[in-house]
Chain A
């Protein structure tokens, strides 16, 4: 079992729709969760982080965390073609502070 799992996609949504990206993690004690966006050929860019159960909203982005289910998601409302990128989920382990573990990423395609 991978430590952080994501569906590689591609996830294709029409412009203006809600894109839902999902991630599961194996370490039940994990406390900190991050979403990065990576455009092709570029480096990852931090877009959201969440530490507590529930939802956290920032503009068109909402991160959702359910520690009991070991599940974190990212919702992108009013998706734009410029949102087309790979979205990386990352988790810090509970017993290995400092080692941020990434999933393989989900490729999102927003079609005009």
Chain B
């Protein structure tokens, strides 16, 4: 039973560039949530995708956007990267949009220089 998979594992980008992170949910899950985790902090909710639509969004600027595909996989795009975007980006999947537990992937470590 495949868990949540994320790619790439690590990424180094330059300020002003754009980045795309990818996520495949756990088998049987149809909902994908994205989180940003800065060092020493808890994960911060970016947004959630269900039925290929953004259902919930946290306090992140429009530079952060996403997409969900018919196979439930998802992408997170960040434009005009800032130094402060350096963080661990976590994808989590669940079943439905209710209050079910989230299962996390291993994350993508993004460094912006």
Chain A residues close to B by CB (< 8 Å): 4, 6, 8, 31-32, 34, 36, 42-46, 49, 51, 88, 90, 92, 96-105
Contacts and interface: CB of A to CB of B under 8 A. Distances in A.
A108 to B, nearest CB: 15
B107 A100 contact: no
Interface stretch (B12-20, B66-74, B98-106): B98-106
B99 A46 contact: no
B90 interface: yes
A90 B44 CA distance: 11
Nearest to B100: A32
Contact of B48 (A32, A98, A102): A98
B34 to A, nearest CB: 12
A88 to B, nearest CB: 6
Interface of B: 31, 33, 35, 40-45, 48, 50, 55-56, 58, 88, 90, 92, 97-99, 101-107
Nearest to B55: A98
B42 A42 contact: no
Given A100-B45, A102-B44, A103-B42, 9 more contacts: A31-B99, A43-B104, A90-B102, A97-B99, A98-B48, A100-B92, A101-B45, A102-B35, A104-B42
Contacts of B98: 97-98
Contact of B99 (A6, A32, A88): A32
Nearest to B91: A43
Contact of B103 (A31, A32, A42, A46): A46
Given A98-B56, A99-B48, A99-B56, A104 B97 contact: no
Contacts of B50: 98
